[in-house]
Amino acid sequence: MSTTAIANAIKEGLALWKTYIATREQAYKRKMDRKLKLAIEYAERYILNNESDGDKNLREKYRKKFFKYN
């Protein structure tokens, strides 16, 4: 195998690695977006439950979920 072929193989491998890293990063961002959405939802429920003097156990559940996802 010539050095040019080896260099081309290395370049191709690095290009594939960059693509893999980029797709993993996008997947991670989507996961974080879903977690943020859930955190906001539980925060809203917690606030609404506090305003209406709701069930303390339910309020605590929403509080824990908020901190879990945020």
Q: What is the pLDDT of residue 17?
A: 95
Q: Give the predicted TM-score (pTM) of the model.
A: 0.60
Domain that holds residue 36: 3-69
Q: What is the pLDDT along the chain (70 residues), one digit of tens a residue?
A: 689 999 999 999 999 999 999 999 999 999 999 999 998 988 888 888 777 666 778 888 888 888 888 7
Into how many domains does the chain fold? 1
User: 35: Cβ–Cβ under 8 A, 6 or more apart, which residues?
Assistant: 69, 70
Cα separation, 39 vs 45, in Å, equals: 10
Q: What pLDDT, on a 0 to 100 scale, did the predictor assign at position 5? A: 92
What is 5-63 written as a DSSP string?
HHHHHHHHHHHHHHHHHHHHHHHHHHHHHHHHHHHHHHHHHHHHHHHTT--HHHHHHHH
